Structure 1
């Protein structure tokens, strides 16, 4: 790999810090992270010669979350932040061909990935009739689970501009009012979680229960984790700024945007681990159960036989299927641990005030 493409040195992951603090063993989480790092490097090498300066190749899904298992898709989009150019379409075709030749599993057909995404709608169409389901999905996943490859200039601009739209709406009130949480952003995180849940029911009916057990399990874990990370990002933002003495700092949108961009630039699991480390400590039994359940979930997905069995399981056979019962029990353990964390201090008041009402 050339010097230009050298991967940046990352600070120690909060997940690893938490694992050591709890003296826990999460082999599937660590294996998925190592596998994601290797795949990220492959994609980076393959795509580097083709990506122009006004674009960024952005990765999503399990690869961006560093939860890459055997059988994972590589979800990507070519993000354009500049004038439209006919060459952009040709570039997506070249990237697709390059990945196919390298035997990289493509995104699911008909979804929002494996194509062009233009920054204009992501930034300017937040809410209202023009904010389509696909636009909402692309925007929120860009914030919650994305990672750029070698050329990140366009990506960084779009992230900053999207976050600025959210934050500036919350700073329109009186200058003497203290900044509390990025409520506009929090509400969109909540809306997206509910949209995912509703779309799950729609797809189950439309696809006649095809792969419903895998989708159900993912909804209980990785999809719920996205919402969790979004809520906790807003909580951490409140905590980071509440001690400031200068009201002007509360109303400095750039400070808030920069903070959120750095925070959301980590993975969802790292955001959860950061909150546990800073506010609950190593004595948090809920954290061990939460990460233990998530580790088992990744282990289940990484087992090709188990994943295939869940893919082919019919709803009528679910109650008597040991594997599905195991997945359901893990989902309940994950949910119970989340509930314990969110309804314990210091998150309890935040959860009731902002997460419920």
Structure 2
């Protein structure tokens, strides 16, 4: 089912997002199949005496976004509250890989970020400094921005709760005993989101430089579209935090802190496109039209990517398919600039929190 934030724009503007709607339906069907198969596999492990209690399976990427296309991979991560036995980890990973093969889902890439195991503590204790590795940052922000639980949902709940509390620690009443200044935008979280987006862009160029003949067209297309919407959606969520809190009517430091954590937790259950669409109510009429047009371009790109033939053609960055996506992505980028830099509501927020 299409997210209600997108349906609202369809009704208000009189436009449609057919490819996003189709992708949502495909994703729901595949998610149901995946959840059932995972449940069966892990029950079987438990019946064999393998201790899988407290292990959660988190899926990120297109399935979690509700935007699965033909040939989509399935980025997954096993996460546990504690450190399980070696056997539990290996058996759990093997079980997930069997399910992916049975459902014709492509396994994660070979970078070692996904398709692996980590503890919940790793994700929320190491934010920043040298021990916050690229894989750890990618996992953490992916869980915040585009994830869904497929085994023991409480694990994801705990990770999100602890990560959000860590980002918002300076707004906790114990930290702000003598401060009456209201919470506006969580700068720590915004800065980490921006760092993540810039890291994605820098690492893409570094990888392409190392292996120039590897056919980077599809990854480039995703960088220009799905990755950019992921960033824009997250930025939209976090920049509008203060406005949401003002509308909530919460006054005390504790009330606003609780509302802040609750808001950020709820946003983590929305897809990036839905988060971006949530800006609609804050924008002026010109910004609303730009938002609708931006999402229409994204919808078109998603439709093109739902074809293995197109994905194969993208191996060549000079192909007509690649040039078509680049054109749409350029228009999408211009529309994002109109939303974030020209709308009277968004401009001061973007200027005040996103650059300096």
TM-score, normalization by structure 2: 0.90
- Following TM superposition, by how much is the alpha carbon of 1:322 offset from its aligned partner in structure 2, in angstroms? 2.7
* 1:129 shift after superposition: 0.8
The alpha carbon displacement at 1:104 in A equals 2.3
Contact 1:241/1:250 (<8 A) preserved: no
After TM superposition, list the pairs within 5 Å mapping 1:209-248 onto structure 2. Answer: 209-243=213-247, 244=249, 246-248=251-253
Q: CA deviation at 1:328?
A: 1.3
State the match for 2:260 in structure 1.
Answer: 256
Counterparts of 1:11 and 1:160, CA distance in 2:
26
CA deviation after TM superposition for structure 1 residue 32, in Å: 0.9
In structure 2, the partner of 1:68 is 68
* RMSD value, Cα: 2.0
Q: 1:12 to 1:328 in 2, by over 3 A?
A: closer
Answer yes or no: is the 8 Å Cα contact 1:22–1:282 preserved in 2: no
Confirm whether residue 354 of structure 1 aligns to residue 353 of structure 2. yes
Shift of 1:209: 4.1
Note the residue ranges of structure 2 that are not aligned, 5 or more in a row. Answer: 44-51
SS of equivalent to 1:21: helix
Indicate which of 9, 16, 39 corresponds to 1:25. 16
User: What is the CA–CA distance in structure 2 between the aligned matches of 1:236 and 1:219, rounded to whole Å?
Assistant: 24
Q: Aligned partners of 1:245, 1:136: CA distance in 2, in Å?
A: 32
Deviation at 1:283, TM superposition (A): 7.8
Is the 2:250–2:259 contact (alpha carbons within 8 Å) kept by the matching residues of 1?
Answer: no
Give how far 1:245 is off.
5.7
Q: For 1:154-179, what per-residue CA distance to the aligned partner results, in whole angstroms no more than 9, with x for missing partners?
A: 11011000100000134435422221
Shift of 1:112: 1.3
Correspondent of 1:330 among 315, 328, 331? 328
Contact 2:81-2:120 within 8 A present in 1 as well = yes
User: Is the contact made by 1:170 and 1:183 (CA closer than 8 Å) also made in structure 2?
Assistant: no
Q: Aligned to 2:225, what secondary structure does the other structure show?
A: helix
Moved over 6 A (4+): none
Moved more, 154-163 or 284-293: 284-293
Comparing 346-355 with 277-286, greater Cα deviation is found at 277-286
2:156: which partner in 1? Answer: 155
Query: Distance in 1 between the 2:241 and 2:288 partners?
Result: 22
- Per the alignment, residue 199 of structure 2 pairs with 195
**CA–CA separation in structure 1 for the residues paired with 2:103 and 2:292:** 38
Superposed, which structure 2 residues align to 1:245-284 within 5 Å?
Answer: 246-249=251-254, 252=257, 254-280=258-284, 284=288
Partner of 1:82: 82
User: What is the DSSP-based 3-state SS (H/G/I as helix, E as strand, rest coil) of the residue aligned with 1:149?
Assistant: strand
Structure 1 residue ranges without an equivalent (≥5) = 1-9
Question: Residue 168 of structure 2 contacts residue 186 of structure 2 at CA under 8 Å; is this kept in 1?
Answer: yes
**Residue pair 1:293, 1:330 contacting (<8 A) in 2 also:** yes
Partner of 1:5: none
CA–CA distance in structure 2, aligned partners of residues 301 and 12 of structure 1: 20
| More divergent stretch after superposition (54-63 vs 202-211) | 202-211
Aligned to 1:142: 143
SS in 1 for 2:166: helix
Residues 209, 182 of structure 1: alpha-carbon distance in 2 compared, 3 angstrom cutoff: farther
Deviation track 1:172-207 (CA, whole Å, cap 9, x = no partner) reads 354222211111000000000110010011110122
| Displacement of 1:211 | 2.4
Measured against aligned partners, the alpha-carbon deviations of 1:295-319 in whole angstroms (never above 9, x if no partner) come to 11111111221111112x05xxx2x
- Whether the aligned pair in 2 keeps the contact of 1:89 and 1:116 (CA below 8 Å) is no
The Cα shift of 1:324 comes to 2.3
